[in-house]
Amino acid sequence: MAQAPASPGGDDSTTPIRFGYDEAARALLVEWRDGTASVIPFERLRRACPCAACRGELGLPGRFQQDPRLRPGEDELADIELVGSYGLKAIWADGHDTGIYRYEQLRQLGEAPAGQD
Ligand SMILES: [Zn+2]
């Protein structure tokens, strides 16, 4: 019997097999190889952007620490790109595209309780 290809640095619960959008719910859908699926609202995804500007760097506060309000387009997911075998790049309608979400992070975002954004 053939073995499934190894997934470097991840197990089935953090290996995505398909991405999609739920336009009505304004959420990113991720199907995982372990048979589960995550639904991640765009706003939660945007606020969790892992890039240096959003997280803060060199002692400077991050994007949402300075002003927690969303500006137009900031939580409009325009496109996604896969990055290597480990992550997903989100391209937002306001032009922000420096955040690369590791699959482990997407998994955690999909498991956060609703209403905690
Ligand atoms: Zn960012």
**In this predicted structure, what is the pLDDT of residue 112?**
76
Q: How far is the CA of 64 from the centre of ligand 1 (A)?
A: 10
- Burial (CB count <10 Å: 0-12, 13-18, 19+), residue 91: middle
Cα gap 28→82, rounded to integer Å: 14
Sheet strand arrangement including 100-102: 77-83, 87-92, 100-102
Q: How far is the CA of 51 from the centre of ligand 1 (A)?
A: 4
Q: Cβ(60)–Cβ(72) under 8 Å? A: no
Assigned fold of 12-111: NE0471 N-terminal domain-like (3.30.2020)
Q: How far is the CA of 71 from the centre of ligand 1 (A)?
A: 13
**In this predicted structure, what is the pLDDT of residue 30?**
97
In this prediction the pTM is 0.86
pLDDT by 10s per residue, the chain, length 117? 555 455 555 689 999 999 999 999 999 999 999 999 999 999 999 999 999 999 999 899 999 999 999 999 999 999 999 999 899 999 999 999 999 999 999 999 998 776 555
Give the gyration radius of the chain's Cα atoms: 15
Q: How far is the CA of 85 from the centre of ligand 1 (A)?
A: 20
Q: How far is the CA of 96 from the centre of ligand 1 (A)?
A: 7
Q: How far is the CA of 16 from the centre of ligand 1 (A)?
A: 22
Q: How far is the CA of 108 from the centre of ligand 1 (A)?
A: 17
Q: Which stretches does DSSP call E strand in 1-117?
A: 16-22, 27-32, 37-41, 77-83, 87-92, 100-102
**In this predicted structure, what is the pLDDT of residue 115?**
57
